[in-house]
A and B are shown apart, each in its own frame.
Chain A
């Protein structure tokens, strides 16, 4: 809540700060860090203990599914982008946000199961203490899943994954993971 400086073209609010009424205020108790760029400087506040990063709307996060019901699934956010979090955040994926197409016909039990690792995008915040995630893109969805026998499954299509030991196929909403580096022969 402490006022740091004027918010103008030369001073931009970074993480740990917010802009209000033309001034930049701090949100955390910590140390001010000024990052100088060509013509402007970013004002950040770093807390002395713990990470300063929290899920922001639009971020892609990695979450683990804990509970699945008919209308939504609860999960726990483990990483934001590339940063692994020291403390988990709770999130929900609603039935309407699982798939971009055919929102009425989606069955959550055929998209996610408890224990799956999913990639999701954070939606604008509505509730306190829980984030809403969406997997309604081709690149989002289940990345790692385990079959009923506890073995890691291999994706066979956008809607199914197969266990390499029992050859049983299980339905999931599979993410299209694009490799970062492609080797050219």
Chain B
């Protein structure tokens, strides 16, 4: 079945690609695959287009598949030799080397224990190899990565909700932050780490984020106002 941009698509559908862009490149994002001369859909969702030649399928996912370059929130579960094993919610545990921290050398080991939460970036992720994490960027600087402080709360949500709240168009994090002070680390693997001053505020923000799954951008602003008013009233 031939489909157009903005349609709900199922695996097996063929895209009607514009023929006038014969000289330019077509960039196929997640959910699309080239088969001989056609472009086939491989996941169910909504077909989207950005710019002139970037296409992808927006799909609803909960299970995380590691992708190179994603920043994720993980839990350290094991130490073996000079690497840590970190659980990021994917099919295999990821490895994080001792030396992948700011200012770490063979003699100066980083202070990471089993059970710590880390915010790290995926260095290598492939179908056939175990994922590799680093807590330092290519300049050797820590940035926002590294071990997260104690006293936070971790919860999971679906992957498209993560993409929605990280979208610059979504004002949720800003509106909540203007009234309630909080620290948040959003992992592309569906895990969020949140730290506020009291349990009430934590629960309020968690509920606000989870409820925003099915709301449009304009409805999210009124949801945030409701949550803030409810907290002030308590």
Contact = CB atoms under 8 A, between A and B. Distances in A.
Interface of A: 68-70, 109, 113-114, 148-149, 165-168
A148 B127 contact: yes
B200 interface: no
Interface residues of B, number: 11
Interface of B: 33-36, 124, 126-130, 132
B131 to A, nearest CB: 11
Contacts of B34: 166-168
B128 A113 contact: yes
15 contacts: A68-B129, A69-B129, A70-B129, A70-B132, A109-B126, A109-B129, A113-B128, A114-B128, A149-B33, A165-B35, A165-B36, A166-B33, A166-B34, A166-B35, A168-B34
A166 B132 CA distance: 27
A167 B35 CA distance: 8
Nearest to A115: B128
Given A165-B35, A166-B33, A166-B34, 16 more contacts: A68-B128, A68-B129, A69-B129, A70-B129, A70-B132, A109-B124, A109-B126, A109-B128, A109-B129, A113-B128, A114-B128, A148-B127, A165-B36, A166-B35, A167-B34, A168-B34
Nearest to A166: B34
A82 to B, nearest CB: 30
Contacts of A109: 124, 126, 128-129
Nearest to B132: A70
